[in-house]
Structures are given as structure tokens and as C-alpha cells.
Amino acid sequence: MKQIYFDNSATTKLDEEVLKEMLPYLEENYGNPSSIYQIGRANRKAVEEARERIAKALNSEPNEIYFTAGGSESDNTAIKGIAYHYKEKGNHIITSKIEHPAVLETCKQLEKEGFEVSYIGVNQDGILDLEEFKKAIKPSTILISVMFANNEIGTIQPIDEIGKMAKENKIFFHTDAVQAIGSVAIDVKALNIDALSFSGHKFYGPKGIGGLYVRKGVIFDKLIQGGHQERNKRAGTENVPGIVGMGKAIELAYEKLEEHNQKIKELRDYYVQQVKEKIPYIRINGDMEHRLPGNSNISFRFIEGEGLLLNLDLKGICASSGSACTSGSLDPSHVLLAIGLPHEIAHGSLRISIGKYNTKEEVDYLVESLVEIVGRLREMSPLWEEFIEKGEMK
């Protein structure tokens, strides 16, 4: 069965050009970049060239880029590293209720260590409440951490305004930009961002490699002890093939950003319109204007998201659910609950994330499959039967 991939927010297919650039560092150029002999020096040069590519994409300086194993490590390093170093100045951190677990769980851990964390709410479209945000700032606030774009509903936050607010109040500002890099143009200087997390596999690069931008002058404590790699901020032999691949991937992403975004957004809007026309009793989650181009999150009433996913999988379609059932939890997405969805509707949500390799024919097949599957699952649902008996169909 042909597999059709609509889960690009989870990970993306490795670009062939990226793989081609990585291969020499998986084969003949295998030296340790910390070594002084020729193949070591060649790898060190490749690492620094990738650092320059990433810095150019973000409008930062190369020495402000640090390599990590991925977005989660970058989030942990930024939040804990800054909090630990500046704890004598204050112990208060502000974040949002819809952050990725890599941020939320890190903040919960810091609370156990004596830090105070304010979790700011969002409106029904997933946009941060800036008034509540302003009220949360206090003299002891040392760090703000707000994601650039949400991984579930695609909402893009008012990063510019948050950055200005942080700068005016002399508070460090970190943003988890894992979902945004490669889809949104980001200028860390113009946006007053002090630290920014990203991960290669979200923009057609390799897995297991990520990065952290930290503005020059911002000090953060290292979390991994050992060697003196990454200017003594992250111990461990550098993942040279991954770093090279991520450098190439971010360069490719921003070379054709507008072209790819236009194509992806058109497919996304076409998909949403088709679903609205062909399937009743749905709810579109997230702001449709301030949103990642390929993201769609729709709740289908009277069904479970897990059943929807399994049936799509039987048709060769890869997608994601608003329900966390498949990860071992019976609770629906914390993001969907934060925007006000009741549990029963949040459980029936489907996230479709369209990428540069998807086609209109694949979208048509997805919609056709959804019409069939949603109809069948509703017929099996006691909630649907009760809904009909009450005459609400009329």
C-alpha cells in the first residue's frame, strides 16, 4: 500500500540535497572535529560552515549558535541554563499554557527547585493573552519562554510584541521555534530574541540534531558536563553529519521560503474547504490568519481521534490526533483544552500538517477517506445515536 504522509509537524522527509551533502561525513570524512590532524580539521571546518549558514538564516552571529541533539535539549538548556545562572537576580519565569512538553516539564522541574512559574492563558484561537502577560511581570521575573508557533494548532504568537515587552522590562526572552524555523522568516535581532531553539528534522534535515541561538552577552549554565565542545557550553563529540545536514536544510528552506509556503498554504486551504463542505459538525481549531502555512487542526464531533487515526492508517495515510491516547494517556491535548474545547470534542481532533512533497491528489484522497471514515465511526457512536434521537439533526 502506498503511504501518504500528512504529519510534517512531527517530522519531515530528509531532502535529497541534504542527504547528498551529509554522505561524505558518514563515509570517508569520519574524523573527530576536535582532532588536529587533517580529517579532523576538515570536519571542524564543515561544522563551522554549517554554523555560519544557520546564523545567516536567523540574522545572528556564528558564535551565537550552539549545536544540541534536538529541540528538547535546546529548550532545557536555554530555560534551565538561564534560570540557574541568574537565580540571584530573580526566580520568576513566565510561559504559556500551550507550550511543548519540553518547556512545560522543564518549568515544572524548576518549580520543584524553588522557582516560581506563571502559565499564561490563550484565547479561543490559541493567541496569547498579552494583558494577562503584562500583569504577570514582576521585579523577580528573569525569563520569558513562549513558543513561536504551536505544534498542534499552528498558531503563530505575537513574538514581536513579547520581545519588545521583555526588552523594556530587562527580562530574557526565549522562544521555542522548532515548528517555525523553515516556515517563517525569523530575525532574532529585530524580534529582540535572546535565545531560540530549533531542530533539524522539522525542516527536511536529519533527526538527532538541533540548535540553540543565544544572544551574545547572555550567560547560561551548561547542563552536560565533560569536554569543552561548543565553546565549553555543551560537552560531547559533535554530530558532524547531522550538523552539516541541518546547515544545508536551513539554507534550502529559506532560499525557497515564499514559493514553498504559497504551495503548502494553497493545499491546506483547499483541504479545509473540502472538509467544511463535505463533513458536518466540525470545528476548526486555531487562528486561520496567524498560522503556519501547512497546519490544520479540525475536531470531528461524535468520534474518537484514535479511531480516526487507526482507520486512516489502514488506508495508508499518516496523520496525528488531538488526543494523546496513542502516547499512553487518556487525556486530550492540553493545547485544545487551553483554547476552551470540552473533552469530548478535543478527543475527536485531527492534525494534518502538509509539507512540500504533498500533492493535490493526495489531499483529495485524504478528504475522500475522511468522509467515509467519519461517517462510519459516527454510525457506531452512542453519542451520534443520541444526537439523532434528540432531533438535533434537524
Residues classed as catalytic: 325
Cα 326 to Cα 6, 322, 375, 379, 391: the distances in Å are: 17, 10, 22, 23, 34
In the chain, the amino acid numbered 161 is E
**305-314 and 360-379 helices cross at what angle (nearest 10)?**
130
Count Cα neighbours of 380 within 13 Å in the Cβ-side half-sphere: 10
C-alpha to C-alpha distance for 258 and 238, rounded to whole angstroms: 32
Look up residue 176 and give its amino acid. D
List Cα–Cα distances, 236 to 32, 33, 66, 224, in angstroms.
Answer: 11, 11, 12, 8
Q: Are 223 and 213 in contact (CB under 8 A)?
A: no
User: Measured between alpha carbons, how far is 178 from 192 in angstroms, rounded to an integer?
Assistant: 18
Look at strands 295-300 and 349-353 and give their pairing.
Answer: antiparallel
Q: Which three cell numbers stand for residue 302?
A: 461524535
